[in-house]
Amino acid sequence: MDNTPNRNLITALYCRLSVEDMHEGESQSIENQKMILQQYADDHGFHNCQFYVDDGYSGVDSTRPAYVQMLKDIEDEKIGTVIVKDQSRLGRDHLETDRLMELTFPSYDVRFIAVTDGVDSINGINEMSGMRNFFNDFFARDTSKKIRAVQRAKGERGERVGTTIPYGYMKNPDNPKQLVPNPETAPIVKRIFEMYASGIGIRRICATFEREEILCPSVYAFRTTGNRSGNPNLDKPYRWSITAVRKMLSNEFYCGDTVNFKTYSKSNKLKKRLKNPPEKRLVFKDTHEAIVSRKLFDTVQKHFAGRKRPDVQGEMDKFAGYLFCAECGARLYLHRGKTIDPKLNAFQCGGYQTKGNSHCTSHYIRESVLNEIVLTSLRQMTAYARENTEEFYAMATANGEAEAERFYATAERQKTQITARISQLDNIIRCLYEDRVTGRITPERYDTMASGYELEQAELRQELQYITKRIDEMDLREMYVKEFIAKAKTYIEMPELTPELLRVFIRRIEIYEKAEKYSRTCGNRIVIHYTFQAGSVLRVDAVTDEANERALLPA
């Protein structure tokens, strides 16, 4: 290779700075790198210089914009020389960097220079270059391990480990580590939850906001902070994404909870985030001010659990998430169509639909009939709560008293035992790790034993979470009864069954098969579970009105 700088091709001066490199001070700054490279190029007669700069990118990231552009220009034979401050600027993945230095650059007759490492490919391959690349890779892995350990400790303390501020929140001016509702966007988030809970589908919500010219989250973030991470479409600032709204409606952060470790990556070189199973996530309740109530959030999740597809008007099935088969426990789904008379819309057991007669039966029931039965029962129950408040209160609180007493008798003891066992398992795993480090057990033996103990811990934590949730529900029982009575006095007129009424008064509805299968006159037995008891429910039985059923059957 001729040692005369090629005056016709580009001399690529590549600079890179990651977040971790910033801790090393001014010596690694982009400005310092530019100064060193420009000075070197001037002193050695390199012309047609062009900077390729990746500011804020890790050396193991092979998708760095300037890096990718530089490689493209090399393949297009536009570049004759690549100059970097040191080999770590080119990259910290030793396999990728070795490939560039030993294969790619020679293949395209590109001269490579690392100024402070004393590397110049015109003098041949430097035996130490491969070692430097390996140690640069090791440094990246070690740094990643330390950062993960810090993030893990923060997450286990209940601190938020995510870097993105959820739409609807802002940093507290007095405490940047704390997030508080944003007075501009928090009402929009609350409105989204209320609209969806009232039966309005996500597509219709997006269309409404676009019509009202409400800035979408990504454009709002860009205009207020300059952040482009959400890929804002500035040409269509009011175009709300269905996916974004869907994620928003399932984000526990909006009801005051912090959920850490939702995702993970397998290594520092694989940037793809994988979903963690629920048992490996850590949930911390009431860590910040909520935008929506927990009851409203749970109602939305209940709708998500049922069928989420809206009709042509953009409205949701109001019974989605409420209807269950009394025999197999599967959800009931609404069957409807554009060419079908709405009076013929009907629900069927999901277990029957997917697994057939061997699993369950259809539990067929008309939507209009179910509407009438539930509305009649709801009118009677709320009237009783309004007109006989003391009797209703005594009935509602006494109904689950025996169950509550039995549960409380064992719950606290179980919590103590489970907590002690989890702590004991922590000590066992710590001792196992020490045995592995000192060589008393093999790595393979450690992995086998530790995975078993970690699985037991995950199961215990899940059981502890269930017990704690049940205790909270029992504690809320009296409050729910009083709330039901208050709502019954508010909702006096009920001309029709609405999603709001279901959300306020009903927790679950179970549908039984007809006593006479395929009968055109025999009705379904329905069990309605109301909201005024937590943990335990009052079972209200009803049977479909046979006259209404017959009237709605096709001639």
| CATH code of residue 278 | 3.90.1750
One domain for residues 419 and 362 = no
One domain for residues 447 and 466 = yes
Question: Domain ends where: 451, 478, 505?
Answer: 478
Q: Which of 468, 461, 103 is nearest to 282 (CA)?
A: 461
Half-sphere exposure of 21 (CA within 13 A, CB side): 24
CATH value at residue 35: 3.40.50.1390
Amino acid identity of 236? K
One domain for residues 196 and 307 = yes
How many other C-beta atoms are found inside a 10 Å radius of the C-beta of residue 532? 27
Question: Regarding beta strands 79-84 and 111-114, do their DSSP bridges make them parallel or antiparallel, or are they unpaired?
Answer: parallel
In a domain, 335, yes or no: no
Distance CA 506, CA 528 (A): 7
In a domain, 105, yes or no: yes
One domain for residues 416 and 459 = yes
Give the pLDDT of residue 314: 55
One domain for residues 291 and 359 = no
One domain for residues 183 and 291 = yes
In a domain, 307, yes or no: yes
Q: Tokens at residue 325, please? A: 């088969």
In a domain, 336, yes or no: no
In a domain, 128, yes or no: yes
Question: Domain ends where: 435, 452, 478?
Answer: 478
Give the pLDDT of residue 474: 67
Q: Tokens at residue 455, please? A: 């699985």
In a domain, 156, yes or no: no
One domain for residues 311 and 226 = yes
Question: Domain ends where: 151, 167, 187?
Answer: 151
Give the pLDDT of residue 545: 44
Backbone angles phi, psi at 196, to 5 degrees: -65, -40
Give the pLDDT of residue 110: 93
Distance CA 337, CA 339 (A): 5
One domain for residues 438 and 378 = no
One domain for residues 134 and 248 = no
pLDDT in tens, the chain (555 residues): 455 555 579 999 999 988 666 555 555 788 899 999 999 999 999 989 999 999 888 888 888 899 999 999 999 999 999 999 999 899 888 888 889 998 999 999 999 999 988 899 988 877 678 778 777 777 767 666 776 777 777 777 777 777 788 999 998 888 888 889 999 999 999 999 998 888 788 888 999 999 999 999 999 988 888 877 778 888 999 999 988 999 999 899 999 888 888 777 776 666 677 777 877 778 888 888 999 998 888 888 877 766 555 555 556 688 888 889 988 888 888 887 666 777 788 898 888 888 777 788 888 888 888 999 999 999 999 999 999 988 888 777 765 555 666 677 778 788 888 889 988 988 898 888 888 888 888 888 888 888 888 888 888 888 888 888 777 766 667 777 888 888 888 888 888 888 888 888 888 899 998 877 766 667 788 988 888 754 433 444 445 544 334 333 332
The total domain count for the chain is 4
pTM: 0.54
Range of the domain at 531: 342-388+486-552
In a domain, 168, yes or no: no
Please enumerate in sequence order all residues whose Cβ is within 8 A of that of 31, keeping only pairs 6 or more positions apart, or say none. Answer: none
Please enumerate in sequence order all residues whose Cβ is within 8 A of that of 293, keeping only pairs 6 or more positions apart, or say none. Answer: 255
Give the pLDDT of residue 277: 80
Give the pLDDT of residue 549: 40
In a domain, 172, yes or no: no
Distance CA 406, CA 170 (A): 45
One domain for residues 141 and 241 = no
One domain for residues 292 and 184 = yes
